[in-house]
């Protein structure tokens, strides 16, 4: 989400981090019965659905990959390993006390040898890499198709990517040619083009949307705004409110591609629409609790007053939820708990499995579960 003040940026980062916790994976096995033994039937069913899928695992501080049966396919020999996207996955080795990243194939051999301080998954035929403190793009053969010359670089969307140069963000095409001059203060990760428009800061740090020529197609009038997902985007406005603590109120809703609110700005936070639903919340009148709801594309509440500490976005018919004891689980679109909260950390389901943390925040390991909550693998 694009924001226009350090305070707001910090607030959104905290919210996103606390909702998803998708980056770190470690913990002690959960003592619940569902974690005590693996289910052979669950493994066989899982394998039949995604027989070629591979998942990163950690064994004695080394990383490798398993299949959906929990069988080790690529021997743990890496110092870091990421998920496969297509036929390649980012993996890392420590060389001279420095982690360097490259890309491996599903047989476990290097397609692109580790040579980068940072590396991202491939997207639209290229990947962002960092070398010597600068960012550029490589192709699937490891060729540097756009030299590492930028202070930061984002992924391509509709053939355009945001890059930072001399402290300012602009946009390049797939040849590396700057097509919109660097003059914006936004992060390179968020102003993704969708339907030919992307959100950026304008005058007075208001957010609007530009086209591929850098012209305003929606004037900068929002406190913050997200890229469009389909025909709608989350946007927030700031209004004077004498009853509010600081004399103003910031609220959000969803706009159409003309910049008009089609779901009024009445919420304090909202995830993008996914599978026809969006998860939103507003603070209670006594300002002590988030009141979570799930709305459809008309703004109608299909679930209301969800009694959870945090709620994630809908993904494959599931919604991640965190209870007051800081444990995570999943509900379905009817609000029914399909996997009760029991995990310290949580990840989205990918290829039918989710990598979850069990234990405590101070000492943890990770496990993989299927969509029924059955254990497939534990660290």
% of residues, the chain, pLDDT over 90: 76
Which residues are 274's β-sheet partners? 277
Burial (Cβ within 10 Å: 0-12, 13-18, ≥19) of residue 48:
exposed
90-104, 208-222, 227-241, 348-362: which range is least confident on average?
A: 348-362
pLDDT-based confidence at residue 107 (cuts at 50, 70, 90):
very high
The token duo for 154 is: 């984002």
pLDDT score at 46: 54
**Is pLDDT at 12 greater than 50 in this prediction?**
no
d(CA 73, CA 89): 14
- Kindly state the DSSP code that residue 232 receives in the 8-state scheme: B
**Which distant-in-sequence residues (6+ apart) come within 8 Å of 134 by Cβ?**
148, 149, 150, 151
pTM here is 0.84
d(CA 320, CA 7): 26
Kindly tell me the sign of the dihedral angle through the C-alpha atoms of 362, 368, 373, 375.
Answer: negative
Quote the CA–CA distance of 321 and 307 in Å, as a whole number.
9
- Residue 11: CB atoms within 10 A of its CB come to 14
Averaged pLDDT score across all residues of the chain: 88
- pLDDT tens figures, 178-214: 999 999 999 999 899 999 999 999 888 899 999 999 9
Cβ-Cβ contacts under 8 Å for 370 (sequence gap 6 or more): 42, 45, 46, 352, 353, 376
DSSP, collapsed to helix, strand or coil, labels residue 7 as: helix
Instruction: Name residues whose C-beta falls within 8 Å of residue 11's C-beta, 6 or more positions apart in sequence.
Output: none
Mean pLDDT, residues 266-273: 96
- Give the residue from 290, 217, 292, 291 showing the smallest Cα distance to 255: 217
Residues of the chain with pLDDT > 70, as a percent, come to 87
Classify 6-378 by CATH class: mainly beta
**Is residue 47 very low, low, confident or very high in pLDDT (cuts 50, 70, 90)?**
low
Residue that wins the pLDDT comparison between 249 and 107: 107
Split at pLDDT 50, 70, 90, the class of 20 is very low
Average the pLDDT over 214-230 and give the result. 96
Copy the structure tokens of residue 10. Answer: 């910090």
* CB neighbourhood size of 289 (10 A): 12
The number of residues in the chain equals: 379
Q: Tens digits of per-residue pLDDT, 57-104?
A: 999 999 999 999 999 999 999 999 999 999 999 999 999 999 999 999
Among 145-149, 338-342, 360-364, 373-377, the range scoring the smallest mean pLDDT is 360-364
**Residue found under tokens 């969509």:** 371
Q: What was the pLDDT predicted at 23? A: 36
Weakest mean pLDDT among 32-36, 125-129, 224-228, 350-354: 32-36
> Does residue 284 contact residue 291 with C-beta atoms inside 8 Å?
yes
Helix (H/G/I), strand (E/B), else coil: 6:
helix
CA neighbor of 185 nearest in space, from 160, 204, 161: 204
- Domain boundary assignment for the chain: 6-378
Query: Residue 218 is encoded by which pair of tokens?
Result: 């929606």
Average pLDDT estimate for 316-341: 95
Cβ partners under 8 Å of residue 34, min gap 6: 342, 373, 374, 375
Map tokens 């945090």 to a residue: 310
What 8-state DSSP symbol labels residue 309? S
- The C-alpha atoms of residue 267 and residue 74 are separated, in whole angstroms, by 46
Q: Measured in whole angstroms, how far is the alpha carbon of residue 215 from the centre of its chain?
A: 28
């Amino acid at each position: 989400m694009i924001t226009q003040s350090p305070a707001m940026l910090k607030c959104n980062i905290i919210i996103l981090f606390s909702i998803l916790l998708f980056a770190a994976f470690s913990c002690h096995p959960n003592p619940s019965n569902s974690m005590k033994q693996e289910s052979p039937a669950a493994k066989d069913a899982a394998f039949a659905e995604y027989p070629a899928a591979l998942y990163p695992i950690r064994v004695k501080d080394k990383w490798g990959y398993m299949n959906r049966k929990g069988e080790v396919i690529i021997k743990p020999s890496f110092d870091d390993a990421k998920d496969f996207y297509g036929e390649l996955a980012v993996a890392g080795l420590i060389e001279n006390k420095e982690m360097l990243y490259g890309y491996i194939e599903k047989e476990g051999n290097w397609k692109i040898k580790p040579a980068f301080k940072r590396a991202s998954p491939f997207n639209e035929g290229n990947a962002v890499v960092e070398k010597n403190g600068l960012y550029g793009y490589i192709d699937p053969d490891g060729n540097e198709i756009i030299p590492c010359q930028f202070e930061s670089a984002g992924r391509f969307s509709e053939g355009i990517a945001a890059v930072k140069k001399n402290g300012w963000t602009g946009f390049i095409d797939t040849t590396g040619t700057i097509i919109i001059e660097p003059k914006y203060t936004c992060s390179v990760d968020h102003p993704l083009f969708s339907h030919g428009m992307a959100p950026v800061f304008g005058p007075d740090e208001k957010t609007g949307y530009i086209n591929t020529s850098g012209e305003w197609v929606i004037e900068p009038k929002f406190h913050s705004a997200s890229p469009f997902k389909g025909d709608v985007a989350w946007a927030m406005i700031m209004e004077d409110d004498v009853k509010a603590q600081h004399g103003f109120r910031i609220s959000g809703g969803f706009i159409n591609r003309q910049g008009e609110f089609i779901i009024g700005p009445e919420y304090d936070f909202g995830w993008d629409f996914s599978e026809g639903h969006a998860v939103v919340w507003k603070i209670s009148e006594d300002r002590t609790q988030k009141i979570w709801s799930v709305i459809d594309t008309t703004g109608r509440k299909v679930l209301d007053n969800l009694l959870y500490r945090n709620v994630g976005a809908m993904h494959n018919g599931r919604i991640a939820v965190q209870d007051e004891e800081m444990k995570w689980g999943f509900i379905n679109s009817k609000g029914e708990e399909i996997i009760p909260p029991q995990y310290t950390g949580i990840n989205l389901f990918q290829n039918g499995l989710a990598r979850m943390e069990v234990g405590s925040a101070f000492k943890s390991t990770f496990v993989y579960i299927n969509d029924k909550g059955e254990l497939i693998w534990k660290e």
